[in-house]
Structure formats: structure tokens, C-alpha cells
Amino acid sequence: MNNSQAQSIEHIKKGPIIAALLIGAFVAFLNQTLMNVALPKIMDDLGIQASTGQWLTTGFMLVNGVLIPVTAFLIARFSTRQLFISAMSLFTIGTLICALSPSFAVLMVGRLVQAAGAGILMPLMTVVFLNIFPIEKRGSAMGMMGIAMILAPAIGPTLSGYVVEHHSWRILFYIILPFAIIATLIGIFFLKNVTKVTKPKFDALSVILSTIGFGGLLYGFSEAGTEGWNSSEVIWSLVIGAIALIAFVVKQLMSKTPMLEFRIFKYNMFTLTTIINVIVTMAMYAGMILMPLFLQNIRGFTPMESGLMMLPGAILMGIMSPITGAIFDKIGARWLAVIGLAITTAMTYEFSRLSVDTSYAHMITIYTVRMFGMSLLMMPIQTAGLNQLPRSMNAHGTAMSNTLRTISGSIGTAILVTVMTSQTKHYVTEGIKAGAAKVTDKAQMATLTAQSMVHGIDDAFVIATWLTVVSLILAFFIKRTKPQEENLKAEMTKVQGAVEAKG
């Protein structure tokens, strides 16, 4: 980006751009969390099986995950305004289709259209924030972005639980629709282009390899959590995905203008923070996936009660996000990450000690403190890595970071669900052998199964605890960095000063 473009960015009114992006991000994240709780009601209403209904979330995730790696190309090919309006228009149209859907097929189409818009929107927002804010204010800016990313999942389960208990699940999409329309209109009237348009050539083979590679891995890992690792469908998905992904990486490394730049991993701090982010995301899914299972299947709480338990922690995380961003701008990411991961590790370990008698208040306390720890590390770690990249690499860094986080979420879910189910079966078998229950006695078997599932969930949290320990160790190596071009300017200033001194 040349000097005139950089100067024009400084004079752009940031308010409308930030408003449009935050509203768009909020409804995109809210849309994801609403569906999880509403799924059983939707399946009953449309008369479909769980294996079919699951595609409403799996299909969304696949389209979303496949589109994210392509966003670096799209951001270089089209203007910020064109991309945002297109993404929000797709999301709005998809939401309307979902709200009006008379059948599962139509609802599925709406979800896929929504996913296409959301997949473009999230990386675009990060790139725009990196471009319109100077490095010394990026922490605060990313903290603002974190509000939308955190509050939506906080509100989603509780709102969805209330709506599906008292109204039609279609109301959920009617709640999202006006916000999506408002964000689109703000984009149409106020959004300016803040990224450099270079018009790269469309690489069809890279898109195909990327789609098969990332799509295969995402589908394989998501199905492994439910079908098991021995499923031929899971094995073939992972094998085909891995082969296509290797071919994709080789092609990108050989290309002068790659669709997704893998050379960004030569920046050591970006690589380190990406590894930490991947591991933390896997551990984070322990709370997101296992806690609702414990609360609803073991303790018998309703979806709304389950959502309410997670609400204080998520709200605290939303409040802390801009505060953490401001602290990051002053002291960097290392100690924020270390303190945050220490808290997260301790609270994740506490979750590995759950029992059928664990009180509701105790669970709220642990979950809220754990979310406080997460609030200190998620955005600072990501921002610290992206800060090292040159401006021209922002789109590639964002796309890579989001892609790996999406895949790690699927891997984390698959591993933790597998640990939980396999250990639950193990404890049931051991209990029967020890005479804890007779197979013919339904009441005894129900009690044994519930206790065994709690032990299985505890074991999964043990794995999550060790993941956070690894992240904690790596966090001590985080250093404060600046983009390469800023480092170059600093070196030139030193040289110039030395020359003048000699003169």
C-alpha cells in the first residue's frame, strides 16, 4: 500500500466501518450458537433423525471452514466494500431462507448460504482492523472485536433456550434478520476500501485442492467425534483430505503468487502464537462441548439453565476484552498470556474433578473464573502474532490463523468426545465386572452409566488440562514484535543517524 493510500486510511471515519463490522460479526457468531440448542426442537418439528439434523451444523462448519482459506485471495481481488456487502447480503438472504423454510432441504440451503457469508466476513473484519489501526492501538481495536466474538456465544444458548421453549425455532432467524440488514445498509452507505486491490489471477486448482483438503479434514474430525475413529467414512475423509492438503501446500510454496501464503511461518512469533492458539482452542472446546452434556444429560438441567450457567463467564469475558486490549498495547502479550493460561489451567483441572453431586454454584464459579483466564489470552496471543507480519501479509496471516483455529476446534472436539465415550464404556464394563450393577436392572444400570459418564468427562478434562499446560510453557517465549517494514524503517533511521554522526 503506497503512502497516499496509507494517509487516506488515517483520515477515514472509522466509526461507521467499526459499527458495520461489529454488528455483522455479532450476528454471525450469534447464528452459530443459537443453532446448537435449537437443534432437537428443529428435528422434532421437521421429523428428521439426529444424523440428518446434524448437517445443519456440520454443513455450516464445512462451508465456513472451506471459504476461510480463500479469503486472502478474495481480499486481494475485491475491495473491502464489495466483499463486506457481498458477505452480509449472502448472510441476510440465507437467514431469510432459514426463517421461511417449510422443510429440512430448504433450511439446509439457507444454512449453507449463511455460511458462505460468515466465512468471508470474519477474516475480512480482522484484516480491516489491522489496516485501519496503527500497531500501538491494535490491542484496543482487537479487544473491541472480541466483544462481538464473545458476547454472541454468551447470549446465544440462553436466548435460544428461551425461544425454543416458548416459541417457534423460526423466531431465532427473525431475531437475527434485522441486525443483518442494518449491518448491510451501513456497509452500503458508509464503508470505504481500506485494503490494497491487486487483482491476482484465479487459481482454480488451488481452490479445488484447498476445498478437498480442508473440507476433508474438517468433515473427518467432526464425524470422528460421533462415528468413531474406526469408521471407514472418517478414515477415507481424513486420508483424502490429508493428500489434497499436502498437494495444496506444495503448490502454494511453488507459486510466485500463492492463494494462501505458507511462507508466513518464517515469522517466528506468528508461528509460535499460532501453535498456542491451536492448542488453546482445542482445550477451550472441552468446556463448550462437555459442560452442556454434563449439565443436561447427567444433572438434568434444561438447555436454558445450561446456557444461564455459562452466561456470567461469557459476559465477564466480553467486558474484559477491551480492557485486555488496552493492557496489551502497553505491556505486550507475554504476561497476559502467562497469567491467563495459569488461571485457565487451574480451572480446567478443577473441571476434571466433577461428580454427580457437584453444585450448580460451584460450576458457575469455575466456569466464570476459567472464562476470565481465557479473556486475558485469546485476542492478545492472536494480535501478537499478526503484529509481526508486514501489511501485505495481513490477509494471509488472518486466513491461516482462522483456518487452523477452525480445524483445531474440530480436532479438539473429536479427541475429547472420543476420550469421553471410550472411557465411559470402560467404566461401565469395569462396574459390571465389579458387581456395581446388574445388566438386567435398569435403575442400577442408569446410575452406573451416569457415574461412568462423569468419569469419562473428567478424563477428557484431564487431557484438556495437559493441553493448557503445554500452552502455558510456550507462552513464556512470546516476545513483542513489530511488522517487518516498521523494523526496516527503524534500521534505516539508525543507519541515517550513524552517518550524520560521522559527518
For residues 382-407, give the mean pLDDT.
84
C-alpha cell at 9: 486510511
3-state helix, strand, coil in the chain (%, to 5): 85, 0, 15
Please give the pLDDT value at position 11.
Answer: 63
Answer whether 0.85 is exceeded by the pTM.
no
According to the model, what pLDDT value does residue 433 have? 80
From the options 2.60.40.10, 2.60.40.420, 1.10.3720.10, 1.20.1250.20, give the CATH code of 261-495: 1.20.1250.20
CA–CA gap between residue 242 and residue 207 (Å, rounded): 15
* Position 347, amino acid: M
User: Quick check: 9 and 74 in contact, CB under 8 A?
Assistant: no
pLDDT at 50: 67
Look at residue 472 in the predicted model and tell me its pLDDT. Answer: 94
Q: What is the C-alpha separation between 117 and 457, in angstroms, rounded?
A: 35
**Residue 471 pLDDT:** 94
* pLDDT at residue 464, rounded to an integer: 92
Alpha carbon distance 104, 281 (integer Å): 31
More confident residue, 7 or 42: 42
Confidence of residue 1 (pLDDT cuts 50, 70, 90): very low
DSSP three-state, residue 439: coil
Judge whether residue 483 has pLDDT over 70: no
Q: Is the pLDDT of residue 432 over 50?
A: yes
CA neighbours closer than 13 Å in the CB half-sphere of residue 219: 23
Angle in degrees, 0-180, between the axes of helices 55-67 and 394-433, rounded to the nearest 10: 150
Mean local confidence (pLDDT), 85-101: 94
Triad 148, 412, 374: Cα angle to 5°: 40
The answer to whether 257 and 271 are in contact (CB under 8 A) is no
477: how many CB neighbours lie within 10 A of its CB? 12
Identify the CA nearest to 460 among candidates 229, 304, 295, 285. Answer: 285
Model confidence at 5: pLDDT above 50 = no
| pLDDT per position as a tens digit, 223-244 | 776 677 888 888 999 999 999 9
Question: Is the confidence at residue 490, as pLDDT, over 60?
Answer: no
Q: Of the segments 217-231, 385-399, 432-446, which one has the largest average pLDDT value?
A: 385-399
Phi/psi of residue 9, each to 5°?
Answer: -65, -40
- Count other Cβ atoms within 10 Å, centred on residue 409: 22
Q: Which fold has domain 1-200?
A: Growth Hormone; Chain: A; (1.20.1250)
| Rounded CA separation 330/419 (Å) | 41
Residue 307 pLDDT > 60: yes
Lowest mean pLDDT among 145-149, 242-246, 252-256, 430-434: 145-149
Angle at 206 between CA 205 and CA 208, to 5 degrees: 65
| Average pLDDT over all residues of the chain | 82
pLDDT (0 to 100) of residue 7: 41
The burial class, CB within 10 Å (0-12 / 13-18 / 19+), for 19 is middle
239's CB contacts (< 8 A; 6+ apart) are: none
**Angstrom distance (rounded) from CA 413 to CA 290:** 9
CA distance 368 to 343: 11
Instruction: Give 9's pLDDT tier (boundaries 50, 70, 90).
Output: low
pLDDT of residue 495: 40
pLDDT tens sequence across 47-88: 887 667 777 877 887 887 788 888 888 888 888 889 999 999
In whole angstroms, give the CA distance from residue 10 to residue 134: 9
Q: Which of 413, 374, 408 is nearest to 146 (CA)?
A: 374
Report the 10 Å Cβ neighbour count for 276. 26
Average pLDDT over residues 456-481: 91
> CA 224, CA 437: separation in Å to the nearest integer?
30
State the virtual CA torsion across 345, 348, 352, 353 in degrees, nearest 10. Answer: 90
pLDDT winner (highest mean) among 19-28, 83-92, 119-128, 327-336: 83-92
pLDDT value of position 257: 81
Listed in sequence order, the DSSP H helices in 294-393 are 303-331, 334-351, 360-375, 378-386
- pLDDT value at residue 463: 92
Task: State yes or no: pLDDT of 42 exceeds 80.
Answer: yes
